[in-house]
A and B are shown apart, each in its own frame.
Chain A
Amino acid sequence: MTTLNQDEINRYSRHLILSEVGPKGQEQLKASSVLCIGAGGLGCPLLLYLAAAGVGRIGIVDFDVVDESNLQRQVLYGVSSVGKSKAQVAKERLLDLNPHITVEVHETRLTSDNALELFKQYDVVADGTDNFATRYLVNDACVLAGKPNVYGSIFRFEGMVSVFNYEGGPNYRCLYSEPPPPGLVPSCAEGGVLGVLPGVVATLQATEVIKVLLGLGNVSSGKLLVYNALKMSFKELKITKKDDYEINELIDYDQFCGIPQQQEEKVIPEISVERLKEKLDANEDFTLIDVREETEFDICNINGQLMPLNQLDAFLGDLDKSKEYVVHCKMGGRSARAVAEMQDAGFTNVSNLAGGILAWIDKIDASLDRY
């Protein structure tokens, strides 16, 4: 006899008639729990499929609110969700999809202080975060808590999927023992991402989560799947266990990933969009440099001289190092690195536009197109 009620039997009938799942597997899913880190591009499809499949208890860690620019790929949300808590909107949507499950919301930043306690409460962790510091935190906490880490990551047109720390298999540090220094690899917010790409990667992650929970098929442990959307290619790369790292406790992952601490940040001089406006209105003698990509420049610009960050060194030779420069990008991250690069090259009067062109649009000129 199954413990599933009649509603559940109707709902899950396509699973129940699969001999590999059946009533026993469906009950197993109902009795299991998954913690999803991030309810963004990867988290949205992942959560939808896990809820639909009947995973009994789903935890969501996310403290962000829905932004209009999320709707291009974060399929849990609609226009009415903009400005609301992602985790809360996700919970409502998932319970509407499947009232037979429990959804637990953790509206908090995952940290070295709370990760282990959270991870212990779930069978499997699914990683859909967007930065290296959290990736290493999730990995190390999974190793210490003994939980499988179903990993997915995306960049522009490429995605990666693997299952780490599964039955003694390799973990993320076996693949990459150290993160890149900040700035060398752009984030999705800077580099862009094809909206449907996280859908492909997250549904592969959801498949692996369900296989782990049911002990079904060959779990992608020791194997990195690399998907290229433009080439429509899937490449399988082997990952073997390494011993060139130690995970004994959770550490300061911002520091591990080289994210500048407070005192170092002060070295980059900043200027506000209001001050820039004054300088422009007063026709002051300085040069505005835009270090974004040409495609971004074409969407909106404030008449800066276009010098994309990764080609900046080629432009610097033609500039007078003693003159004044203000550098901007979309949000202020790339331009801060450009300012540092210019300072290293001997420029003495360079400042970073705080908040980038988005701050300019918000505070000075709303007629420009936001992206």
Chain B
Amino acid sequence: MNGRLAARLAAMPLSGRIGFALVLFWLVVAVAGPLTAPHPVGKFVDEEVFSPASAQHWLGSDYLGRDVLSRLMWGARYTVLLALGAAALAVATGTSIALFAAIRGGLVDEVISRAMDTLISIPSKIFALVLVAAFGSSLALLMLIAAFTYIPGNYRIARALAVNLVGMDFVQVARARGEGAIHIAWREVLPNMIHPLLADMGLRFVFIVLLLSGLSFLGLGVQPPHADLGSLVRENISGLPQGASAILSPALAIATLTVGANLLIDALKGGGEA
């Protein structure tokens, strides 16, 4: 597996390798960042607000005189882990329902597909806003809302893949052998659609990062005292006129994360062919 990954990386265009490096960087920051953060996340460490980068504060201080680098490391953890959790949940749920619908077929498939078509015709941000208004925005709820918003999109792709596979000879043979639905879904169909599914999960991850940081930027996402990257941009918006590092660095962090993920997925799919 490692050898194959290295081989694929070597075969990738430069943009893909840059994307891989950026994604890896942010994953490491999300996991290890808070452990190495130079200052406590909520502590006021600087007399001055919006101070520029210095030896003590590598990325300067924020609108309350807190250390931007430390807050950025924590913010990255919320953004990356929430979005990863939500993307995994969306893909696991969407694909399970899709496998169920594709293998059962008939009326079950039709009813589920119709319901998913309905959900997919609600623009994702609008849907997420309605859900936030109805249920609130604790961290767990935000993850569930983001996951729920992107289940229909994954369902559509997974079902199209699964329906194709279910019609193939080896699945028919497995059915004739008398295998159960779970065996067919888990052992016959799923292994053959895992690559496009992983690519789809990557895309969902990007969408969810954008959705969650957009919500946080509007003040409707991650609530204080927690702060993800979107909240960091929002709370430091008054530093915009002086181009403070407190607002530019979280904005740049989101951009490098999502652009990196997009470049990587594009390269894995085979580059500029689409």
A and B physically associate = no
